[in-house]
Amino acid sequence: MTSVAMSEPPPRQGPGRRLSTFLYRHPRVRLWALLAVPALWLGGVYLGSLAYLLLASFWTADPFTAQLVHEFTLDNFRRIIETPVYRDVAWRTVKMAALVTVACAVLAFPLAYYMARIASTRMRNLLVVAVLMPLWGSYLVKAYAWRTILSGEGVINWALGPFGVEFDGYSNTGLWLVFTYLWLPYMVLPVYAGLERIPSSLLEASSDLGGRSIRTFFSVTLPLVFPAVVAGSIFTFSLTLGDYIAPGLISSDQFIGTVIYREYGTALPVAAAYALVPIAIIVAYLLVARRLKAFESL
Amino acid sequence: MVESPLTRFFVRLGAGVTLFFIYFPLVVIALYAFNEQVTQQWPIQDWSTKWFSVAFHNESVRAALKNSVIAGLVATAVALVLGTLASLAIARYRFFGREAVTFVVILPIALPGIVTGLALQGTIEDVLGPLGVRFGLATIVIGHATFCVVVVYNNVLARLRRTAGNLDEASADLGADSWQTFRYVMFPQMRTALLAGGLLAFALSFDEIIVTIFTAGAIQTLPIWMYATLFRPTELPIVNVVALFMILLSIIPVYFAQKLAGDTGVAGREAERKAGRARR
C-alpha cells in the first residue's frame, strides 16, 4: 500500500506575506499604521488650525492692509471686554440660546414620550426616521423656508390675518422660532433614548403606590430623563451660539456669530479673540453637563 | 400601561403638534417651487412647473451643483478612509491617548461651525497659502472631510463593537494574512456600516454652508449659490426649485442610511421584534 503524502500546501511567500507576519508580531506598529493618517489630518490640519486661530487672537491686523502684525498683545481681549457692544451681543446670544433650549425641550418632550412609551414598535421605527430625516436636511433650505414663511406676505401672517394680528417675523421672536425649529431634532433623539431606558416597572410602582399621572411624571419620569434633556441641550445651546446665517436671514440684531463673520474680513485677530467667547461658554456648559451626568445619555 | 387615557390623548396631541412643526416648513417650500409668480405670496395663486426648466438650464446652478457633487464625493472618500482607520484603531486596541483620538474626531462637530471655518480660513490663507495652496475645491474638501470623518467613524465603530474581534484571530489562525483578513472577514461585516456612513457624510457635505463659506474662496457650491441668490427677489423662484431639490437629495440618502445602519441581518431584526413584543 502506497502512502499518500498528506502534507499541507506551503504558505504563500512574498513581501506581502512577510509584511503581514511582521505586522502580526508587532501590534504597536499595526496600531500606528492605522492611526498615522487620521492623526496627521485631524491632529495636524485641524488642531493646527485651531492653534493658529488661538495664536492670531494675540496679534493685530494693520488697519489699512489687513495684514497681520505678529506681535504679542492683549488689545483684542481688552477691546472685547471693555466695549459694551461686544458684551451686549454675547449676552443677547446666550439669552437666545437659553430660550431656544427651553422651547426645544418643551416641544420635544411629547413627541419623544409618544415614541418611547405609547407608539407601537412599527410606528416608533417610522417616527425615528421621520425625526432623523429633517435633522440631516439642508440647514440653509430650512432657514430660507422660514424666511419665506415669516415674511409680511407669508403663511404666518396669512393665517393670523383674519384675527387682525400682524406678526413681525423678521425679529428676534421670529429668530427664536427658527432656531427652535432648526435644532429640535437634536433634542428629540436624546430625550427619546432617555425615556426608552426608564423601566416600565418604575412607573408602574409609582402608580401602584397611588401616584397619579402628574405626580409620577414630576417625581419619577422627569428626574430620570433630566440628564437626557441636558444632553440634548448641549446641541441646542452650542449650535445657537455659533450660528451666523439664520440671524442674518431673519433678524436685524447682531449675535456672536454675525459679529465674528463681520470682523473676520478686516480684523482676523479680533474675530479670533471673539470666537473664544462661544468656545469658553460651551466648555463651561460641557463641564456642568458632565456633572449632571449628561454624557451617559449622548 | 401606566398612562391614563387622558394623558395619552395629550401626549398624542403634543406629538402631533411637534411633528407638524417639523414638516410644515418643508412642505411650504416644496409648494413654492410650483408657484408661477415671481413674488413669494401666500396663498399661491397660479401653479406651474416652468421654474424647474429655468433652474435646470441656469448656468450658475449647474456649475454650483457640479462643484457640490465633486466636493461631496471626494470629501466622502477621504472621510471613509480616515473614519475607518480611526474606528479600527479605537475598536481593536487599548492604548495611551485613546480618549484623545475620540475627542479630536468629535471636536469638529462639537465646536461651532464658525470657529472651524475661521480657523481653517486663517490657516489656509496665512500658513498654506505661502506653500502654494489656493482657495478652491481642494480647500472645500479639506473642510468637509474634517467634519465628515466623525459620521463614518460613529457608524463603523458601532458595527465593530457588535462584531467580535476573535473572528479576526480565527482568520489569522486559518492562515490568512492581514490583507486577507480585512478583505474576507472584516470588510463584509463593515460593508453596510460603511455605506450608511458614506451616505450620511455625503448628505452632510452636500448641504454644508457654515464652514464652506470660509474655505471656498470664489468657488460656489450649491448652498453658497443659494445663500448669494436668496437676497435677489427676482431669482427666488429658481431658489425655491433648488431648495426642493436639496431637500430631496439630502433626505433620500438619509432614509437609506437609516435602513442600512439599522439592518443587522434577519436574526438581529427578529431579536429586536421579540424584545419589542416582550416590552409591551
This model of the complex carries an ipTM of 0.84
- Taking contacts as CB-CB distances below 8 angstroms, the residues of chain B near A151 are 40
Q: How many C-alpha atoms does A76 have within 13 Å on its Cβ side?
A: 28
Q: Cβ(A281)–Cβ(A239) under 8 Å?
A: no
Report how far apart, in Å, the C-alpha atoms of B63 and of each of B57, B70, B201, B210, B220 are: 11, 11, 21, 20, 8
- The reported pLDDT for the residue numbered B270 is 41
Q: Which residues pair with A61 in a beta bridge?
A: A68
- The reported pLDDT for the residue numbered B278 is 42
Helices and strands (H and E) in chain B: how many = 13, 0
CA B192 to the chain's CA centroid:
16
Q: Each residue's pLDDT tens digit in chain B (280 positions)?
A: 567 788 889 889 999 999 999 999 999 999 999 988 888 888 888 888 888 988 898 999 999 999 999 999 999 999 999 999 999 998 888 888 888 888 888 888 778 889 999 999 989 988 888 888 889 999 999 999 998 998 899 889 888 888 777 888 888 888 888 888 888 888 888 888 899 899 889 988 998 999 999 999 889 999 999 999 999 988 899 999 999 998 888 778 778 887 777 654 333 344 444 444 444 3
Cβ-defined contact of B22 to A27 (cutoff 8 Å): no
Query: Mean pLDDT for each consecutive 10-residue tract of chain A (298 residues)?
Result: 53 73 81 88 90 90 78 86 92 96 94 90 86 83 93 87 84 95 90 88 85 82 90 88 92 92 86 91 86 72
- The reported pLDDT for the residue numbered A6 is 54
Nearest 5 degrees, angle CA B145-CA B149-CA B154?
A: 160
How far is the C-alpha of B124 from the C-alpha of B138, rounded, in Å? 11
Q: Does B94 touch chain A (CB under 8 A)?
A: no
- The reported pLDDT for the residue numbered A7 is 56
Strands A68-69 and A60-61 come out as antiparallel
Selection from B178, B233, B272, B214 nearest residue B41 by Cα: B233
Selection from A105, A65, A75 nearest residue A188 by Cα: A105
b (16+ CB within 10 A) / e for B114-139: bbbbbbbbbbbbeebeeeeeebebeb
* Grid coordinates of A80: 472685547
Cβ-defined contact of B10 to A110 (cutoff 8 Å): yes
Q: Cβ(A274)–Cβ(A263) under 8 Å?
A: yes
How far is the C-alpha of A114 from the C-alpha of A131, rounded, in Å? 13
Other CB atoms within 10 A of residue B163 CB? 15
CA A80 to the chain's CA centroid:
25
Nearest to B251 among A11, A137, A139 (CB): A137
How many contacts (CB atoms, under 8 Å) link A and B? 273
The interface residues of chain B toward chain A in range 116-135, judged by CB-CB distance below 8 A, are 116, 118-123, 126-127
Largest CA-CA distance found in chain A, in angstroms, rounded: 108
Selection from A106, A98, A57, A42 nearest residue A260 by Cα: A57
CA A68 to the chain's CA centroid:
32
Selection from B45, B53, B48 nearest residue B34 by Cα: B48
- Taking contacts as CB-CB distances below 8 angstroms, the residues of chain B near A265 are none
- The reported pLDDT for the residue numbered B274 is 42
Cβ-defined contact of A118 to B10 (cutoff 8 Å): no
Phi, psi angle pair for B47, to nearest 5° = -105, 145
Q: Cβ(A137)–Cβ(A150) under 8 Å?
A: no
Q: Does B234 touch chain A (CB under 8 A)?
A: no
Cβ-defined contact of B207 to A45 (cutoff 8 Å): no
Mutate to test the interface with B, among A19, A32, A140 (most CBs of B within 10 A): A140
Cβ-defined contact of A68 to B41 (cutoff 8 Å): no
